[in-house]
Amino acid sequence: MNTYNYLKIFENLGYGLIETEILYHKNKPYDFKILEMNKNVKNIIKDIMKNNPDLELKEFFKYSFIKEINMKDFFEGYIRNIDKLNNKPINVYNKKLDAYYEFVAYLKNRKCLFVIRDITKEQKKDILIYKLQKRLNISLDIGKIGWWELNIKTGYIEFHKNKAELLDYTIEEFPKHMYDIMKLVHPDDYEHTMNAMKKHLNGEDEFYHTEYRIRTKNGYYKWFYDQGQIIERDKDHSPLNLIGVVMDITERKNTELKLKELADFDPLTDCYNRRMGLILLEEKLKYSKRYQKKCVICFIDQDNLKYINDNYGHDIGDDSLKLLAKTIKSEIRDSDILCRIGGDEFFIVFPDCVKNSALSVINRIKNKLKDINKNLDFYIDFSFGFFEYNDFDSIDIDEFIKKADEDMYSMKKLKKISK
């Protein structure tokens, strides 16, 4: 096929075609001359021609395409190895025009055909996509977020690298099947996580969303928030694919836990505070009523706290309260509840317990304090009173505490009389 036919074919395809001859002069060892070109070449480069009317076409060709790369490298590295490169296209960026061109060279003897194409739109589109992807990845990294897509039929999951890296895995190490990933979920969170997924797949919830703990490669747990939605169904409307995002919410959960501790616990003694203590007392009394099990409330008042504060200072007074609380905790059961009402007053809830058993615990606490007091400049002791919940007819918390309090004050009076 002659050159003219090539020129027309590429012209119809929208490509520019230039036939050149490589010249090997001593002074210009990498020069060339243009033999033929189709009109698309002029269309591709017409903007520069407007701005450079005195520029010869040959010089312009160098300026527009070849100038952006080293001439020597181009002829030696590209044209001479063109067979090895399989005519791989190269892209050249024209800074003056902010335009991109792609061309392929076909070398035969000393003649070279350049196929030229303006790829500015495609290249700028690719650059925009790259920038958007880069920004998205940065945002995902900052937010500790990873996306995932579940094939519901096979159970296999495709996921963003962050999902693996947040759990200290590489993307190659992390499980690829739903069954294996769910093995990492904390046993206490497994059921509600699966239920959330089933509700969405069954159409009960618009989205799948849940919070759960998941084990890292190093063996500790992180909190994740997971949300997804079905994106594809088959002809029978059965779900095929589910896409979603997972977010590391460990810091938020730890903050919530700290806030809960501040809301529920006395900061000095690390016992439940009055508000939380009364909530738990009500729960225990309801349990007792439902299962007809006795429950004992013990009201405690530390003796001589004012004397300790006045003679040793309030810091020592606070230390005595902490020591009393610590001693009580060491003797009560895990199911028992210790609450600081305020000041020097506490109460203990003994669920599933009778008064005599509770009294045995109190006596152990007092004996332990006697040993502790041997090493103190002052003594720590307390008065106490009981109320046993055993009629199961009503739950009047204020009345029960009042009765335990009255029993405690009766003991205080006896102590004063005995002195």
Same domain for 319 and 213:
no
Specify the amino acid at residue 148.
W
Q: Which 8-state DSSP code applies to residue 177?
A: B
219: CATH: 3.30.450.20
Q: Are residues 173 and 106 in the same domain?
A: no
CA distance 17 to 113: 7
Please tell me what DSSP assigns to residue 238. Answer: -
Percent share of the chain, pLDDT over 70: 76
Higher pLDDT, 44 or 246: 246
Q: What pairs with residue 110 in β-bridges?
A: none
pTM value > 0.85:
no
Tell whether 21 and 97 lie within a shared domain: yes
In angstroms, the CA 399 to CA 401 distance is 6
Question: Do 192 and 84 fall within a single domain?
Answer: no
pLDDT at residue 15 above 80?
A: no
Cα–Cα nearest to 226, from 136, 148, 142: 148
Task: Among 196, 222, 254, give the residue marking a domain's end.
Answer: 254
In a domain, 21, yes or no: yes
Q: Which of 132, 129, 131, 86 is nearest to 106 (CA)?
A: 86
**Euclidean distance between the first and the last CA atom of the chain, given in angstroms as a whole number:** 126
- The reported pLDDT for the residue numbered 409 is 83
Residues 28 and 94 in one domain: yes
Does residue 353 surpass a pLDDT of 60?
yes
- Ranked by mean pLDDT, the top range of 64-73, 133-142, 239-248 is 239-248
The identity of residue 58, as a single letter, is K
Residues 28 and 71 in one domain: yes
Q: Which domain holds residue 95?
A: 3-123
Within-domain flag for 354: yes
Is residue 163 domain-resident?
A: yes
Structure tokens at 246: 């997972």
Token code pair at residue 324 = 């009393």
The verdict on 287 and 405 lying in the same domain is: yes
Q: What is the CATH number of the domain that holds 272?
A: 3.30.70.270
Q: How many domains does the chain have?
A: 3
| 33 belongs to a structural domain | yes
Distance between alpha carbon 130 and the CA centroid of its chain, in Å?
24
144 in helix, strand or coil?
A: coil
Reference 151, options 227, 232, 212, 224; nearest CA is 232
Q: 315 burial class (0-12, 13-18, 19+ CB within 10 angstroms)?
A: exposed
pLDDT above 50 (res 64): no
Q: What is the C-alpha separation between 272 and 56, in angstroms, rounded?
A: 90
What is the C-alpha separation between 342 and 282, in angstroms, rounded?
19
Alpha-carbon distance of 238 to 241, in angstroms, equals 10
Rounded Cα distance, 325 and 268, in Å: 10
What is the distance between the alpha carbons of residues 178 and 168, in angstroms, rounded to a whole number?
18
Q: In whole angstroms, give the CA distance from residue 312 to residue 332.
A: 29
Q: What is the pLDDT of residue 30?
A: 54
pLDDT of residue 195: 94
Which regions of 169-219 does DSSP assign to beta strands (E)?
Answer: 208-215
Residue 156: pLDDT band with limits 50, 70, 90: very high
Residues 235 and 298 in one domain: no
User: In the structure encoding, which two tokens stand for residue 103, read together?
Assistant: 């061309």
Residues 250-279, mean pLDDT to the nearest whole number: 89
Instruction: Take residue 69 and report the two structure tokens written for it.
Output: 């790369």
Q: Give the chain's length.
A: 419
- Out of 91, 123, 155, pick the residue that ends a domain: 123
Q: What is the pLDDT of residues 355-390, one digit of tens each?
A: 999 999 999 999 999 999 999 999 999 999 998 988
Closest Cα partner for 382 from 417, 341, 411? 411
Q: pLDDT value at position 162?
A: 84
Residues whose CB is less than 8 angstroms from the CB of residue 175 and which lie 6 or more positions away in sequence, other chains included: 181, 183, 184
Q: Could you tell me if 249 and 272 lie in one domain?
A: no
Band (95; pLDDT cuts 50, 70, 90): low
Mean pLDDT of 38-46: 72
In a domain, 131, yes or no: no
Task: For residues 238 and 272, state if they share a domain.
Answer: no
186 and 325 together in one domain: no
> Does residue 332 lie within any of the structural domains?
yes
SS3 171: coil
Give residue-wise pLDDT tens across range 306-343.
999 999 999 999 999 999 999 999 999 999 999 999 99
Name, in order, each residue with C-beta under 8 angstroms of 32's C-beta and a sequence gap of 6 or more.
20, 21, 22, 23, 58, 112
In a domain, 109, yes or no: yes
Amino acid 374: pLDDT: 92
Candidates 224, 226, 228, 276; CA nearest to 252 is 224
- Number of C-beta neighbours around residue 409 at 10 A: 13
Residue 180 lies in a domain: yes
Q: Residue 135: pLDDT above 70? A: yes
Q: Mark whether 112 and 218 lie in a shared domain.
A: no
DSSP element (H, E) containing 57: helix 57-64
CA distance 17 to 62: 15
Q: Which of 89-93, 127-131, 203-207, 229-233 has the lowest mean pLDDT?
A: 89-93
